[in-house]
Structure 1
């Protein structure tokens, strides 16, 4: 963490400079048994590729509005920081009809069709797999992102005081997102090396913060759990132990 960081993308750059090899996001889907662990460097690579897709093929620019219709998932976390990298306003659970572009999972395809701009769909399959058959009217993220560049440079500087995130009807600037994330990190007692296990959804600030932003602001890491209700109390305790969890948000 660097005290001069003013955007979520800045927080990631500082994490990359400090220790690129350390774990940043460990993801579980307890409906499928999937487990994925991403180091800071691997996560940053996915962010760069996604930001290049946004800025290039999708022609997004600072101020563009992106309806983010995705669950708590490691790929959603990537999209959040990619939006910050470009200056795109991520609207968590936003109305696709009023957005410039939409990114959705397989359960939100019909709703996402209301967007008249670019539409991207994620299969949310293990290992970032593609759709067996791409949904009509959508780009398949897993098909489009691998060929994107591994380094990203925005065409225009991102303004930290411009809108960056809309969640629960509240619009936040990039600076406000970082400030809130730092405050939450302090409230959770996070520091470098902390491991926060989150089973909270990404359509609320609390879930976005616990599931990515607060750990990122503190130099900590997150164990992000989708469908945690399928776990017994004993299984959850075992996960906390095996993942060296220090803080839990459920």
Structure 2
């Protein structure tokens, strides 16, 4: 008898569940400024997403109909918060390039709370550096410090509301992707083979965050892993090639 093929991922919950089939395998690797390198195995990525999901649900009542504004550049932490928001059934949104008004969002996850017009509640301040133990700067009244708050929540996702397939999962300008189509849309943005380890260069433009999130989700949904590379001024011309070789990359995006 031949073994049955794994059921294709149809939801973010499926993608997260599949991470634990090979818990020690690298799934998300980040190369940032000043030589920063972070590697998250399947188990570690699932743990970060679980804690963040629990915070969103228990602290901020996130669920279908909740608009979660991710005011973050492409980054491994941004991926975690997007997966967590989608796991709750919420809608992920970003600001236009020149927009600094976040007051219409139900939840704002940002690394620059001092630069935005914020709602009175539901603000999460994110410190991007890997070793940050707290947000380095003043926090708005009532804002949560992600570095400190996330770690107090459970390692396994508790109760979450049921995802409503017709609601938007990603809402960017005139484009809205419903939860029912999210994984399929993500797979369409990631032209990789099943199980590929993909190198994805990213910049610091926040308007590029939705594309990075979809591509990363697509690679993960295909059973692969992602190496996010943030180029920096002064990089050696062959840096990307050397990282691709070191990380055993099999696809470049």
Q: CA RMSD in A?
A: 2.2
Deviations 1:72-115 (A, max 9, x none): 11111110110111111111336512111100013x5321x332
Q: CA deviation at 1:58?
A: 1.6
Deviates most, 84-93 or 142-151: 84-93
> Is the 1:9–1:82 contact (alpha carbons within 8 Å) kept by the matching residues of 2?
no
Normalised to the residue count of structure 1, the TM-score between the two structures is 0.87
Structure 1 equivalent of residue 86 of structure 2: 84
Per-residue CA shift, 1:104-128, capped at 9, x if unaligned?
013x5321x3323311111111235
> Which of 188, 192, 201 is equivalent to 1:189?
192
Unaligned residue ranges in structure 2 (runs of 5+): none
* Corresponding residue for residue 24 of structure 1: 27
Cα offset, 1:207, TM superposition:
2.2
Secondary structure of the residue aligned to 1:145 is helix
- C-alpha distance in 2 between matches for 1:83 and 1:60: 8
Q: How does 1:85-234 map to 2 (within 5 A)?
A: 85-93=87-95, 96-106=102-112, 109-111=114-116, 113-137=117-141, 138-185=143-190, 188-192=191-195, 194-201=196-203, 203-204=207-208, 205-210=210-215, 212-228=216-232, 230-234=234-238
- Compute the displacement of 1:230 (Å): 4.8
Task: After TM superposition, give the deviation of residue 229 of structure 1 in Å.
Answer: 5.6
Is the partner of 1:20 in helix, strand or coil? coil
Question: Secondary structure of the residue that 1:233 maps to in structure 2?
Answer: coil
1:2, 1:11 within 8 Å by CA — same for their partners in 2?
no
1:237 aligns with 2:244: no
Between the two proteins, the alignment pairs up a number of residues equal to 241
Equivalent residues in 2 for 1:32-43, closer than 5 Å: 32-43=34-45
Per-residue displacement from partner, 1:175-233 (whole Å, max 9, x unpaired)? Answer: 21111122234xx23211x11111235634432233x1111111000001234565332
Would the alpha carbon gap of residues 132 and 104 (structure 1) be closer, same or farther in structure 2, given more than 3 Å must change?
closer
Deviation of 1:20 (Å): 1.5
CA–CA separation in structure 2 for the residues paired with 1:2 and 1:162: 27
Gaps of 5+ in 1: none
Q: Residues 19 and 42 of structure 2 are in contact (CA less than 8 Å); yes or no, is this contact kept in structure 1?
A: yes
User: Which one is further off, 128-137 or 160-169?
Assistant: 128-137
Aligned residue for 2:207, secondary structure, equals coil
What does residue 13 of structure 2 align with?
A: 9
Q: 1:104 to 1:6 in 2, by over 3 A?
A: same
1:3–1:227 CA distance, 2 compared to 1 (3 A):
same
